Amino acid sequence: MLGMPRVTPSKVVTGLLLTIFGFVAYKYVFGVKYEAKYEYSSYYKSLSKMSREDLKPKIVYRGTDREANISDLALVKTKKEREEMEKGYREVAYNVLVSRRIGEFRELPDTRHKTCLTKEYPTVLLTASVIVCFYNEHTETLFRTVESILRRSPEASLLEVILVNDGSEREIDRVEAKVKEPNWSKVRLLHSGGREGLIRARILGARNASGDVLVFLDSHIECNQEWLEPLLSRISESWSTVVVPIIDSIDPDIFTYKPSPLGTVQYSLTYIIQEVPINNKLS
């Protein structure tokens, strides 16, 4: 029985070289140009420009297969945005990514009781000095606080907004530049010179205030429609009156604005929460 001829690596290389040499010599001698049977280069060039929707990555909400809305303010798109969000939760306990995307001002739903629409207030009210103390507050959130005060307060009644910097280190240069803008002409910025604490910072603001009434607000709030008029009207009736508005809630994760239930303090100092009937709400 005859065996198969043995093929060594050297023979294979020699055969390939002879084939290549023969092809080049044939082309050189006879001037024959090799033409491919099919032209693929233009096809692949056009294919690279085509959009393959089925190959595009789809962004879904975490833990679900539901495709995310790209305009969702709470949608985390990059690693940098996730780091920004997580750092915000550690420092201020809310989603600073959403707050930054909202910006310095937004429209809010009118959550007042329906009887508030027919309520009339004196045309001449007391003047108010609104004091806002802040310590390393998220900058856009602080700006939105002040913007809501300026835009939703009666011009004649809002005498000034006093910002008290209680030893902040976060973007204080942006705050100083913002106070110099023309539309913030009623805003003053005071520096406590160090970390004094909320009460001492408020006392500093009160000592520098010029209004008839002192209004103290947090640095991460948004004032709604006609928030100041009812407070000043009640104080006008009696100087011994201390007023507190109904405080709505802002979701710390997605910043949705929701009406809060009514809270009342009984003579036993028990705080009772009462839901407002749905048919009495505006929204």
- Diameter of the chain measured on Cα atoms: 124
Residue 257: strand pairing partners: 250
Residue 109 buriedness (CB in 10 A; 0-12 / 13-18 / 19+): middle
For the chain, give the percent of residues with pLDDT over 90.
Answer: 54
Domain 114-249 classification at class level: alpha beta
- Residue 56 has phi, psi (to 5 degrees) of -75, 140
Lowest mean pLDDT among 11-20, 61-70, 127-136, 270-279: 11-20
pLDDT (tens digit per residue) in 196-255:
999 999 999 999 999 999 999 999 999 999 999 999 999 999 988 888 888 888 999 999
Please give the average per-residue pLDDT across 46-66, as a whole number. 64
Please give the average per-residue pLDDT across 84-90, as a whole number. 95
Q: pLDDT band for position 183 (50/70/90)? A: very high
Please give the average per-residue pLDDT across 41-56, as a whole number. 61
pLDDT (tens digit per residue) in 11-42:
555 665 556 656 555 555 555 555 555 565 66
| SS3 of residue 279 by DSSP | helix
Q: Which residues contact 77 (CB under 8 A, 6 or more apart)?
A: 59
pLDDT (tens digit per residue) in 94-118:
999 999 999 999 999 998 888 888 8
Give CA angle at 227 (96, 237), nearest 5°: 145
- pLDDT of 180 > 50? The answer is yes
pLDDT at position 260 is 78
> CA–CA distance from 131 to each of 163, 233, 246, 276 (Å)?
6, 19, 18, 30
Lowest mean pLDDT among 106-120, 182-196, 267-281: 267-281
Average pLDDT score, the chain: 83
pLDDT at position 39 is 62
Q: pLDDT band for position 2 (50/70/90)? A: very low
pTM greater than 0.85 (yes/no): no
Dihedral angle of Cα 204, 174, 89, 167, to the nearest 10 degrees? -30
- pLDDT of 10 > 90? The answer is no
Report, in angstroms and rounded to the nearest whole number, the Rg of the chain calculated over CA atoms: 35
The two tokens of residue 135 are 């310590």
Please give the average per-residue pLDDT across 271-283, as a whole number. 59
Buried b (16+ CB within 10 A) or exposed e, 159-187: bbbbbbbbbbeebbeebeebeeeeebebb
- pLDDT of 144 > 60? The answer is yes
Tell which residue, 10, 261, 232, 252, has the closest CA to residue 128: 232
Q: pLDDT band for position 56 (50/70/90)? A: low
